[in-house]
Amino acid sequence: MRQRPLRRTARGNLPSELSGFIGRGAELAELGGLLEVTRLVTVTGVGGVGKSRLVLAAARSAAEEAREAPEAQGVRGAHAPAEERYCDGVWLAELACVRDPALLELTLSEALGLTDHTTRPPRAVLAEHLADKRLLLVLDGFEQLVDETAALVRELLLRSPGLRVLAAGRRPLEVAGERTFPLAPPVPEEALALLEARASAADPAFAPTAADRAALAEVCARLDGIPLALELAAGRLRTLSPAQVLARLEDRFGLLTGGVRGGLPRHRTLRTAIGWSHELCTPAERLLWARLSVFAGQFDLEAAEYVCAGPDMPVEGVLDLVGELLAQSLLVREETAAGVRFRMLETVRLYGAGWLESLGDAVRLRRRHRDWYMGLATWCELDWFSPRQHEVAALVEAELPNLRLALECCLDEPDELHLGQYLAGTLWFYWAGCGRLTEGRHWLDRTLDHPGGQVTEYESSRLKALWVLGYVAALQGDATASMCALYECRDGAARSGNRVAAAYAVHRLGCLALVSDDMARARELLGEALEQYRAAGELNSNVLMCQVELGMALAFLGDLPGALALCGEVREICEERGERWTKAYALYVLAYAALEAGGTREARRLLTECVEINHAFNDLVGLVLALELLALVTVAEGDPAEAAVLQGAAEPMWGGVGLQLFGSGYFNAPRLMCRERAGEALGAERYAAFAAEGRELGRESLVVRALRGAARVPRPAGLGGVPGPRVSRSTAPADQP
């Protein structure tokens, strides 16, 4: 008999350390001690003093302890060891790019790897997820949303006794029980070591003499040892000697500190460091610095060239200017799944934004930024139906902060609201295909409900947003909102003669009927939509999904030959075009039909590929459907214990999808049959134990286990053959939790 694991593996999302953490040993130890005795610690200090680096170092230390130490049995409370306190991981939420309070909870959910497709308030979803977890949540850069962050942290701490929060900001959260940790600049010896280390990293030939060290020590003193200021100074040591750096800093110190009357000394000192770097830039470098401040988070070279170039900045010169800003530590280069990208430190970005405002060019640059991301979304929608689907998903994921900024720009301009509707609608593939239903619903509702959102001058944009809203709401299990949006879209399309929008409205009404168990209605509407698509010459992932959904309805109604024909054709087209997302759903229907016919080996082969694709796209709906059916296949192969593990692992995932299995007798049938067959073979107690083992699996571990099962040799369990899931509403009622 299989044994449940003795301990849970700590998880998290902490980034790797790109450069060595220098000094701060005493602060790190003190911070670790505070985390042992209190549940909320906020590291405060001036911008650039090293708050983020310190909390990340403390978080990595906690995560390492949780991974390496054996689990302490029966130890709870404030003094529990790290492996017990953080057995559910250490998680980082970066909030600096979040401006809309409504996105705060979503950002935390994303950081925790939590996907939720329901209409429940994101705050309630977060609280429910964290209620029984023991983890450390790291919050960085909350200043622009301090009140909202404080309220959320207060609620989560009250409702989640195992939660601890480590925050970094320029001011405390002022939540009851909070312990603040004011962070001063490093001591002179550590500041000098940091400056020399960063200078050596920028220039491996850097070898300071005794005289150089004296000048460097004076630079550290002049800059109060603030790490960001030292990082900027280190970038200048590539071209200037330590004595020259000191001289230039001294020349500008009085002028630049005088610009912030009444500010704290360290605020003035930081401005001195950044302002000094600004003064040492060429006019073209300063201009690019200001213009790059319109980006949120990361950006790529092509975006910088489009947004920032103009008559005063030739596009062919932007690359060299970016290289200069990199050399001066004003930009950071990062390797991501979407390729090489650049990022500006938040304090540096804010300085550039101030200059952009003073130049009177901020509004124009924000519009150019919006236009670039409108074009990017349009291209990505077209390229979604291609072999580059996975690259498109990674690109949109990386660009999400900038896409949010573009959507906000549209909402800020009453005359351009239609652009927001178009952009929110164009991203349908990301909302529905990459596990972002809740955020998609947020933007679609905002653009459609906004004052002026009823303007019919740009009817096509509004119709697109409406059918996408209907699609998203249907997948969330919100039938009322879905139906209202789709009927409005259908009627508007009829008035304006928009045949494509009419087809989408009918299609999504058919999808709504499918998840509502009205299979006859689904067959009628989906068939009608396919005819309308073909008449309009439309072919893309949506059209193929319509054909798959029609095949699904036929399979549920018992017409397996019809389902096989439709989904087999979709599979061929997808393989020809390189489309994988829709293909996964076609594979699900083909596997369902194979299992009905007793072909367990073929069903497993199809579902293995289905699981792999859905996991890659973070499509939780498709993934959990495939896992439920795979569990039933595993029973049919004669391994009820493994089936119970898979079933137990899949069950919690439905909490994030919506009403469990859409409340559907058809979608619910594999789950009920798996529970019945495996329960009969194992007995109730053993089934519950194996299902509990499955619930302990993280999603990554679950997918690895499901994929590994393709090469597994099943162990006989005396079950013999298990029939496929022949279901009807009368024989497979919706499961009632």
What is the tens place of the pLDDT at every residue in 50-84? 899 999 999 999 998 887 654 443 444 445 565 67
Instruction: Provide the CB-side half-sphere exposure for 257 (13 A, CA).
Output: 15
* pLDDT at residue 80 in the model: 58
Q: Is the pLDDT of residue 520 over 70?
A: yes
Phi first, then psi: what are they for 182, rounded to 5°? -65, 125
* pLDDT at residue 629 in the model: 95
- The residue that leads in pLDDT, 451 or 297, is 297
Q: How many CB atoms within 10 Å of residue 686? A: 17
How confident is the model over 548-576, as a mean pLDDT?
A: 96
pLDDT bucket at 364, cuts 50 / 70 / 90? very high
Range of lowest pLDDT (322-331, 376-385, 398-407, 414-423): 322-331
Q: How far apart are the first and last CA of the chain?
A: 28
How confident is the model over 684-713, as a mean pLDDT?
A: 83
* pLDDT at residue 268 in the model: 54
* pLDDT at residue 265 in the model: 53
Q: Is the pLDDT of residue 118 over 60?
A: yes
10: nearest Cα among 135, 127, 137: 135
* pLDDT at residue 455 in the model: 59
**Mean pLDDT value across the chain:** 86
Please give the full DSSP string across 693-713, using - where no structure is assigned: HHHT--HHHHHHHHHHGGG--
DSSP for residue 240: S
* pLDDT at residue 85 in the model: 80
Q: Is the pLDDT of residue 737 over 60?
A: no
* pLDDT at residue 5 in the model: 34
Q: How far apart are CA 365 and CA 258, in angstroms?
A: 29
The residues, any chain, with a CB within 8 Å of residue 448's CB and separated by 6 or more, are 421, 462, 465, 466, 469, 485
Q: Is 672 exposed, middle or buried (0-12, 13-18, 19+ CB in 10 A)?
A: buried
Q: Is 702 exposed, middle or buried (0-12, 13-18, 19+ CB in 10 A)?
A: buried
Identify the residue whose tokens are 């979803």: 125
How confident is the model over 589-599, as a mean pLDDT?
A: 94
Q: How far apart are CA 255 and CA 257, in angstroms?
A: 6
- 240-264: buried (b, 16+ CB within 10 Å) or exposed (e) per residue? eebeebbebbeeebeebbeeeeeee
The residues, any chain, with a CB within 8 Å of residue 609's CB and separated by 6 or more, are 584, 587
Q: What is the 3-state secondary structure (H, E, C) of 35-68?
A: HHHCCEEEEECCCCCCHHHHHHHHHHHHHHHHHH
Range of lowest pLDDT (325-329, 384-388, 531-535): 325-329
Q: Is the pLDDT of residue 257 over 80?
A: no
- 594-617: buried (b, 16+ CB within 10 Å) or exposed (e) per residue? bbbeebbebbbbbbbbbbbbbbbb
How confident is the model over 33-51, as a mean pLDDT?
A: 90
Q: Please answer whether residues 28 and 41 qualify as being in contact, where contact means their C-beta atoms are separated by less than 8 angstroms.
A: no
- 296-305: buried (b, 16+ CB within 10 Å) or exposed (e) per residue? bbbbbeebbb
Over residues 124-175, the pLDDT tens digits come to: 989 999 999 999 999 998 988 999 999 999 999 999 999 999 999 888 999 9
C-alpha distances out from residue 85 to 5, 34, 403, Å = 18, 13, 37
pLDDT bucket at 330, cuts 50 / 70 / 90? confident
Q: What percent of the chain has pLDDT over 70?
A: 88
* pLDDT at residue 3 in the model: 34
To 5 degrees, how large is the angle CA 712–CA 714–CA 717? Answer: 160
Q: What percent of the chain has pLDDT over 90?
A: 60
How confident is the model over 8-24, as a mean pLDDT?
A: 75
How confident is the model over 368-382, as a mean pLDDT?
A: 97
- The residue that leads in pLDDT, 66 or 314, is 314
Pairing assessment for the beta strands 90-94 and 135-140 based on DSSP bridges: parallel
Residue at 91: amino acid letter: W
Q: Is the pLDDT of residue 271 over 60?
A: yes
